[in-house]
Structure 1
Amino acid sequence: MTPIEYCQEKTAKSGSSFYYAFLFLPTDRRLAITALYAFCREVDDVVDECTDPSLARIKLAWWRTEIDALFEGKPAHPVMQALQPWIEPFSITRDRLLAIVDGMEMDLDQTRYLDWPALRKYCWHVAGVVGELSAGIFGYKDPKTIDYAGKLGIAFQLTNIIRDVGDDARRGRIYLPISDLQQFNVRAADILNSRYCEGFGSLMKFEAHRAQSLYREAIDALPDCDRRAQRPGLMMAAIYHSLLAEIEHEQWQVLHQRISLTPLRKLWLAWKNWVGGGTGVIKQIRRADESS
């Protein structure tokens, strides 16, 4: 199996919404973003699959050395070998790759976050910086596009957190800020034991409104000159934003199930926004933010 085939298999198996956006890209950009996403999956799997935190730290430390090797021109892992040709063409930096590993290590250091600023920092490390790297691969002219991409990545991550409250609780984690739980009188024990207490719906609506605001801030920050190049990000925004609407439609029943969109619906949303240049999701986000 070649490094490119390894990355393609890793990405396809994940079932992520990102996969649907990759399908529409030119070959060079598709190979680059697939390699970047495979790297993210590899370091994320370290935390998800290692039950021993000490072993997980050793593995993440190895990935740090592999990042160094990547920029020295001698990576050993197939993911990094696949990523290497695109370092210079798409401005992939060592600091941003290391920031992703820092985010994964945060999962080893804490299972709770005091407030939104603390959680936002985590979201930037595991998703916002990925958005920034992705924007470089998709292509941009205006540096403001990086701000858009970072905010959009944070919105994606918060949407994931809302969707995965139950799954995360079964792993002993609660990403929703402690200050938010206190505001709506939701106890950690209720979430950890999958109990829908009186304030849970209000808490989730509050978090969804925060995500809506992030989506709106992101699209408002996207310069018109880069909208066409950034269509893959807008395609992903269409999928994630629709997922957020689906969770609300299901009345925030996320403690006992994982709400998701069908592959066909994801593909339809991706294609529609590719053809329409992202206009559809931009209108969708603005309408949702105004009505929330």
Structure 2
Amino acid sequence: MSAPAATPATAPLAPLEREGYRRCAAITRRHGTTYYWGVALLPVERRRHVHAVYALCRAADDIVDEPGATTPGQVRDTERRLAAFRHTVLEAVDGAPVEDPVLAAVVRTLRSCALEQAVLDRFFGAMAADLTTTRYETWEDLLGYMDGSAAVIGEMMLPVLRPTTPDALAPARALGLAFQLTNFIRDVAEDLDRGRVYLPQADLRAHGADPALRRVTPQWRSFMAEQIERNRGLYAEADRGIPMLPDTSARCVATARTLYSQILDRIEAADHNVFTERVRVPTRIKAATAAAALVRRPRGAGA
């Protein structure tokens, strides 16, 4: 894939692209409700780009998270499927014919946002790592993985959010990291079912905590408190970027940030129990938070 030629945002959508964006929105609403309500404040021509990026990431994630995808007899096949999907995306961006509506929308977005192949390579590299790496020893090791699985998503969003300064890059990366760490903290049981632990092994040992027990102990509480404090530090770093965004984008990011960080509040309210059921923010609260953002100006946001 060469550097994509940007597609003018004002160019009319082809019927296949229009259908693709409709499907991307449906995928986002079904699987990523926090993102869906967070970006509801964006103008439609930018909101659809967020839906397309989510659909792209979801498609790759579904390949590596399929039941049995990482079993010894299936890993090679999963690797081939992921590589084939990556190749299809890159070839389509380069101009290969596209028949799938979702892929057509993804290609339109990648071209409109002029995203470089290096960004996609980092993302697909992280997805491939899920097939062979199930544990991370230190926070720094985990950050290495999250660069391609999370921070890069923040980078993909910048052309959509249209920051007023290049200084917004670091906060955007921090927000991507914050969102994913929240997922890791919430989804411990689900990840265990797939044979993975996305929390630093060194930190678990330091607290004497063992997620495999699947129950809340004093050691687990202290470990989780430390991870939640780290997570909130990432959100605080991301907050520095909100004043660097135009008003509509600032409202969007502030809403998504508020909704995702509420997951941490609910985990604390559940006594750090992430084993018996998935902690969620109800849809009615997501919708109400998005609606409130329409009439509340984010603190420090630009015009």
| TM-score, normalization by structure 1 | 0.88
Q: Which runs of 5+ in 2 are unaligned?
A: 1-15, 69-73
Q: Give the 3-state SS of the residue equivalent to 1:275 in structure 2.
A: coil
Q: Which runs of 5+ in 1 are unaligned?
A: 282-292
Separation in 1, partners of 2:139, 2:199: 8
Name the amino acid aligned to 2:41: F
Q: Give the 3-state SS of the residue equivalent to 2:33 in structure 1.
A: coil
Equivalent in the alignment of 1:128:
151
Q: Give the 3-state SS of the residue equivalent to 1:87 in structure 2.
A: helix
Equivalent positions of 1:78-97 (< 5 A) are: 78-97=101-120
Structure 1 window deviating more from structure 2 (57-66 vs 73-82): it is 73-82
Matched-pair contact (CA < 8 Å) for 1:141–1:226: yes
Equivalent in the alignment of 1:241:
261
Matched-pair contact (CA < 8 Å) for 1:73–1:84: no
**Correspondent of 2:94 among 57, 68, 72:** 72
Structure 1 window deviating more from structure 2 (96-105 vs 146-155): it is 96-105
Equivalent in the alignment of 2:81:
59
Equivalent in the alignment of 2:250:
230
Equivalent in the alignment of 1:154:
177
**Superposition deviation, residue 233 in structure 1:** 2.0
Q: Give the 3-state SS of the residue equivalent to 1:38 in structure 2.
A: helix
Equivalent in the alignment of 1:252:
272
Name the amino acid aligned to 1:74: A
Separation in 2, partners of 1:30, 1:97: 20
Separation in 1, partners of 2:287, 2:161: 19
Q: How many residues align?
A: 277
Name the amino acid aligned to 1:32: H
Name the amino acid aligned to 1:219: D
The alignment-based identity, stated in percent, is 30
Name the amino acid aligned to 2:176: G
Equivalent in the alignment of 2:229:
209
**Correspondent of 1:141 among 129, 150, 164:** 164
**Correspondent of 2:52 among 35, 50, 57:** 35
**Superposition deviation, residue 241 in structure 1:** 0.9
Equivalent in the alignment of 2:131:
108
Structure 1 window deviating more from structure 2 (10-19 vs 202-211): it is 10-19
Separation in 2, partners of 1:184, 1:242: 25
**Superposition deviation, residue 4 in structure 1:** 2.2
Separation in 2, partners of 1:174, 1:95: 27
Q: Which has the higher contact order (CA 8 A, sep 6+)?
A: 2
Separation in 1, partners of 2:150, 2:29: 19
Name the amino acid aligned to 1:18: Y
Separation in 2, partners of 1:80, 1:273: 32
Per-residue displacement from partner, 1:192-238 (whole Å, max 9, x unpaired)?
23133330000000000000111111112x16342523332221101
Separation in 2, partners of 1:260, 1:178: 26
Per-residue displacement from partner, 1:166-201 (whole Å, max 9, x unpaired)?
2211222111111001110113xxx22313333000
Name the amino acid aligned to 1:85: R
Name the amino acid aligned to 1:253: N
Root-mean-square deviation (Å): 2.1
Equivalent positions of 1:165-184 (< 5 A) are: 165-184=188-207
Q: Give the 3-state SS of the residue equivalent to 1:252 in structure 2.
A: coil
Equivalent in the alignment of 1:199:
219
Matched-pair contact (CA < 8 Å) for 1:235–1:274: no
Name the amino acid aligned to 1:211: N
Separation in 1, partners of 2:216, 2:276: 10
Separation in 1, partners of 2:97, 2:59: 15
**Superposition deviation, residue 37 in structure 1:** 0.8
Separation in 2, partners of 1:32, 1:250: 35
